[in-house]
Amino acid sequence: MSNVDTAKWDIDKSYIFPGKAVFYCDAVELSRDSRAKILMLGLGGGLINSYLHYNFPKMSITVVEISATMLYIASKWFGLELDENHRVVVTDGVDFIQEQIKKGNIIKLATIFAAALWFT
């Protein structure tokens, strides 16, 4: 079993196991045609943003992650796939928000907390 390359495992992005992921989100239309603009601070393994992108492909999802290492991990081991509607910006989240405000971009809500909970 030690020779198994888990980076090659398929990731089911259509489903989030109940009780394993917690996140806060304002009211967003959850339909396949939703064109909501989502800002997430913190990537983790990319579970929540990948789920949203897979199930609601017209949403515009921007994730701000301070660590390039987390982006690498999410891409290699968690099947993170980016495109024109799903992007990751590697920078500090506070700096990113301040820069968007200076540019006059309105941020209604940023999801701030995304964490896996493992209880036994």
pLDDT given for residue 29 in this prediction: 76
pLDDT tens digits in sequence order for the chain, 120 residues long: 577 887 888 888 887 766 555 555 556 777 889 888 888 889 989 988 999 999 999 999 999 999 999 999 999 999 999 999 999 999 999 999 899 889 988 776 655 544 444 444
Query: Does 45 map to a domain?
Result: yes
CA distance 63 to 102: 19
Instruction: Report the domain count for the chain.
Output: 1
Give the CATH number, domain containing residue 40: 3.40.50.150
pLDDT given for residue 102 in this prediction: 92
Report the relative pairing of strands 21-23 and 114-116 from DSSP bridges: antiparallel
Global confidence as pTM = 0.76
Query: Does 15 map to a domain?
Result: no
Q: 57 to each of 49, 52, 109, 118, how far by Cα in Å?
A: 11, 7, 20, 29
Specify which residues 23 forms β-bridges with. 114
CA proximity to 61, closest of 120, 20, 110, 17: 110
65: containing domain? 33-116
